[in-house]
Amino acid sequence: MALGWGSSAEVVHAAETDPDAWENVIQASIQYQTTVGRGLLIEGGIYPSHIGFETLATAANWNYTRSWLGELSPYYQTGVKLALPLSPRWSTQVHLLNGWQVIEDNNRSPSLGWQFAFAGDELSFSFNGIVGPELPDDDDDLRTLYDTVAVWKATETFRLGLSVDVGRQELPSGGHAAWQGVGVYGRCAPPAWRTAIALRAEYYDDEDGAISATPQTLREVTATVEHRPVETLILKLEGRYDRSTADVFAGNAVDASGVVVRDQRDQLLFLIGVVAQF
């Protein structure tokens, strides 16, 4: 069981049919380890998504903010997972899910997720996916996402990551909308240091507005300096620049009702993040 409060919890649960009922639930699942094969694991409930390079918990990520690839794909999912090691290096997963980052399904049809992964000493990668009807009250039009994640441990100090997404949404009116994105990640963390440096560059093309609700192409670069004065405390100093082909970022203007107007095509962010973990 994991609970959460704050704007992150509000945002990721915004698509729920009853957001207030589930807003603070990050994870609520049960696992059972069987003796089938090399140890079939069964998990049911609300649990972290198998999609993507980054997680909702920023302590587990190289950067403090999350990429558009992460924000526009599921952070959590509800259903049943079967995870089976095939060998010391290879493993696979199958998921029967309520849908795309929802606890209560918004239609009557389930979704199917999968993963096929390799974990080596220097190189690891996974091929992930999810397919199912995700539009409200629509059991026919499928959304499909293919997600590839790779991490290369070049040295004890330096790691390089790659994340690629290709998505497709069938439309009730006929035809389909598509999106795709790629993110490149680097992290320098000398074993004897308490300080690490992480860089991220990303390109995200949603020209049909299928997943971000606005036809646009997004680009972003992020640089993060992480320091751990003690094992349980993580400090992150971060600078990030985003640019879109559409006016999606908020400037200083407000409308007559006092709501901030989104009239900017780029955004520059500096922040200090503090994370305590036990």
Would you say residue 251 has pLDDT above 90?
no
Residue 28 CA to residue 274 CA, distance in Å, equals 25
Residue 52 CA to residue 92 CA, distance in Å, equals 15
Check residue 252 and give its pLDDT: 83
pLDDT in tens, 49-74: 999 999 998 889 999 999 999 999 99
Domains and CATH numbers, the chain: 2-276 (2.40.160.10)
Question: What does 215-245 look like in DSSP terms, one character per residue?
Answer: -EEEEEEEEEEEEEEETTEEEEEEEEEEEES
Residue 11 CA to residue 71 CA, distance in Å, equals 10
Check residue 259 and give its pLDDT: 86
∠ CA 165-94-133, nearest 5°, is 60
One-letter amino acid for residue 101 of the chain? Q
Would you say residue 254 has pLDDT above 90?
no
Check residue 220 and give its pLDDT: 98
Residue 41's DSSP bridge partners are 33, 83
**pTM passes above 0.85:** yes
DSSP state of 275: E
CB half-sphere exposure, 183, CA atoms < 13 A: 29
Give SS3 for 46: strand
* Average pLDDT, integer, range 23-36: 95
Give SS3 for 69: helix
Instruction: List the structure tokens of 3.
Output: 């609970």
Instruction: List the structure tokens of 60.
Output: 């587990």
Instruction: List the helix and strand counts (H, then E) for the chain.
Output: 3, 16
Residue 250 CA to residue 269 CA, distance in Å, equals 12
pLDDT in tens, 147-161: 999 999 999 999 999
